[in-house]
Amino acid sequence: MDFRNDWRYEGRMAESLDAWFAREILPLEAALLRYLARTWLRRDEIHDLRQEIYVRVYEAAAKSRPLSPKSFVFTTARNLMTDRIRRGRVVSIEATADLEALNVLVDEISPEHRASARQELSRLAHAMDRLPPQCRNVVWLRKVEGMPQRQVAERLGISEGAVEKQITKGVRLLARALFGDKASERGADAPLQVQDDEYEQQQRSD
């Protein structure tokens, strides 16, 4: 852990809920996704589950912050999956058969509390090189060079709207690389892609 250049710098006393969420919950995402991938066989629902877990955790924390964010996140995950199975929204035999797996020890799955800042930097840097070329150029100029979007547009000879679009894409890919589970991706060197199409298709087929 390297706390020196950490934007999360804040005494615990006066911390907003949003900052708390970013500091305590987001670093657990990789472990959470591994847990979900192990226990929930319908891969296409994992993004959705993750989101719903975040919603529940955020709303509960608005009332009172859990003392142990990690066990709270995993308990929420387990409850959510159990609820879904009980409500019969999932009829998949595989999913119910794996109900036992919901009780695996959390510590077994997430031995590390959070990635160190250097691991995060290394992940970001690596993710940077796997962005689609134009997206990478835009993110590079915006983040490494610190150019405003307008200037990025001039430098690359594209419209400001196009820059904004690339950032829309880039931020999602960087978030996934930073918080998400590296190991579960198709290959550590595979180019990153936004998977809207997949999700939309699933939506339609549901």
Partner 1 sequence: MNSSSAQIEAQAAQWLARRDSGQLTATETAELAAWLDASTANRVAFIRLESAWRQADRLKVLGAGLKPGELPSPGEWRHSPYFATRQDELPATTTPPAQQASRRPSLRAITAVAASLVLAIVGVMAMLHWSRGSTYETDIGVASSIPMPDGSKVTLNTDSKIRVAVTDTERRVELEQGEAFFEVFKDEQRPFVVVSGSLRVVAVGTKFAVRLDADQVRVLVSEGRVRIEKQEGDQKVPLAQIASGGIGYTRGGEGVLTQTQPVERVEEALSWRTGFVVFHETPLIEAVQELNRYNTRRIVIEDPSIADTRISGNFRAANGDAFARLLEDGFDIRAEFSDARIVLRAK
Return the SS3 of 31.
Answer: helix
- Within 10 angstroms of residue 146's Cβ, the number of other Cβ atoms is 8
Torsion sign over Cα 31, 34, 40, 43: positive
Q: How far is the CB of 92 from partner 1 (least distance, A)?
A: 18
Q: For residues 100 and 206, which CB has a smaller minimum distance to partner 1 in the complex?
A: 206
Closest CB to partner 1 among 83 and 129?
129
Q: How far is the CB of 167 from partner 1 (least distance, A)?
A: 4
Smallest distance, Å, CB 35 to partner 1? 17
Give the nearest distance from C-beta 1 to partner 1 in angstroms.
5
Structure tokens at 204: 């339609």
Residue closer to partner 1 by CB (options 95, 147) is 147
The Cβ-side half-sphere exposure at 42, using a 13 Å CA radius, reads 21
**DSSP category for residue 60:** H
Min separation Cβ 100 and partner 1, Å: 25
Residue 176 neighbours by CB distance under 10 Å: 20
Q: Toward partner 1, which CB reaches closer, 51 or 97?
A: 51
- The tokens for 128 are 């940077």
CB 162 within 8 A of CB 168: no
Pick from 95, 47, 49: nearest CA to 74: 49
Give me the least distance between CB of 160 and partner 1, in Å please: 7
Phi and psi, residue 4, nearest 5°: -65, -45
Nearer to partner 1, 9 or 43 (CB): 9
Nearer to partner 1, 22 or 104 (CB): 22
